[in-house]
A and B are shown apart, each in its own frame.
Chain A
């Protein structure tokens, strides 16, 4: 039963072979979903904002609500100066959100006919987390110079435990891209494996208990139980898809706040 294989959804297929600099840069189904994420986001926002009405229609309202949501998130965590990074945080948030939502389709007009969640690949989330981490370092040093190192030395700490606290702060700072990327990756990976496993159980349980009916009830009805579980998990995964995009964006804001205001 290859169709119930819970790992198959993560496979990468080549669509167009492409090599440069001695590297395999083939356009794959992963690239396809990245293209779709970017294209869909641009098209939907362009259509939503096409009328620019004084009294917005539904699509324009949604676009403005997302804008306000992210702007408030940046302002409340990184302050007014944080709005310098608003387009960056907005792009991260909307890219991860749309990518996660596209991954929720069980079947999709895509290479391999299955949906693909680009955030379920560690390399993608690591790239995004490193982008944030390096932005924090580069901008932090550019704006504050040596004062940026204050983020490792919290104020108001007794002198005899300061070296210990500083060590912890350095470890915490260095491990940020790891926790930042693995959180998103692991959530998407685990959620999608769980969904596929329970969806597989529907077929397995229905087939396995087909000959064990109770009275009038046919045995394959046992498949209802994993089906209900799959249904619930799907709803949960939609929540996780949104929540992880939000968590990634708000952590980005918190990290950018360090670059803007070190020593807090």
Chain B
């Protein structure tokens, strides 16, 4: 042990070599068990390969794929449900618009019917009023004519009286009436 810092490790390596007296080499390079290691490695590696290839890896693969498919299906179903909801919304909007249009129609009809009734009643009342007005006007005209006729008689009487008083000429009321008629005619003409 001349190399002091490495003496312990060197000692152990030497011990190991001594322990392994049957071959006298570093264990990882000991060819005694090479055949055995290769033999058992081949067996267990092949077992592991077959188990993974046939059973375990396909199981993991199908599990992952099933999950991916399921998620895709669920997303499709969600999209479908969304489309359905949108269609229902549109149908609702449509029926709402229809109902509104219908309500507008009913309101317009009602208004029209009411307007017609109002117009009818108004026309009735107006006709009644105009009839009354015409009757009144006729009565007034009659009264006026009667008054006019009386005015002619009065005028004729007054004329003959005035002529008799002023000139002493007796003028018959009929002649006076004729003169008055002539004057009225001249005035009206």
Contact = CB atoms under 8 A, between A and B. Distances in A.
Interface of A: 2, 4-8, 10-12, 18, 23-28, 30-31, 34-35, 37-38, 41-42, 45-46, 49, 52, 54, 56, 60, 63-64, 67-68, 86-88, 90-91, 94-95, 118, 120-124, 127-128, 185, 189, 197, 200, 204
Contact of B60 (A25, A41, A67, A189): A67
Contact of B56 (A46, A88, A121, A122): A46
A5 B12 contact: yes
Given A10-B28, A121-B28, A52 B37 contact: no
B19 A5 contact: yes
Contact of A12 (B27, B39, B61): B27
B52 A90 contact: yes
A54 B60 CA distance: 12
Contact of A38 (B8, B47, B62, B63): B47
B64 A67 contact: yes
A26 B57 contact: no
Given A6-B9, A11-B20, A123-B34, A64 B49 contact: no
A123 B44 contact: no
B1 to A, nearest CB: 14
B126 to A, nearest CB: 85
B66 to A, nearest CB: 7
A175 B93 CA distance: 77
Interface string B1-31: 0000000110011011001100000111110
A224 B14 CA distance: 27
Interface string B33-45: 1111111111111
B8 A204 contact: yes
B59 interface: yes
A7 B12 contact: yes
A45 B52 CA distance: 9
A23 to B, nearest CB: 4
Chain A contact residues: helix, strand, loop or mixed:
helix
Contact of A95 (B33, B40, B42, B45): B45
B115 interface: no
A128 B45 CA distance: 9
Of B16, B37, B61, the most chain A CB neighbours within 10 A belong to B37
B64 A64 contact: yes
Given A28-B40, A52-B66, A95-B45, 6 more contacts: A28-B36, A34-B41, A34-B44, A38-B47, A60-B63, A91-B48
B91 to A, nearest CB: 35
Contacts of A35: 40, 44
Contacts of B9: 6, 197
B51 interface: yes
A187 B29 CA distance: 15
Contact of B37 (A7, A30, A38, A49): A30
B49 A88 contact: yes
B57 A30 contact: no
B176 to A, nearest CB: 133
B59 A11 contact: no
B52 A87 contact: yes
Contacts of A94: 48, 52
A87 B51 CA distance: 10
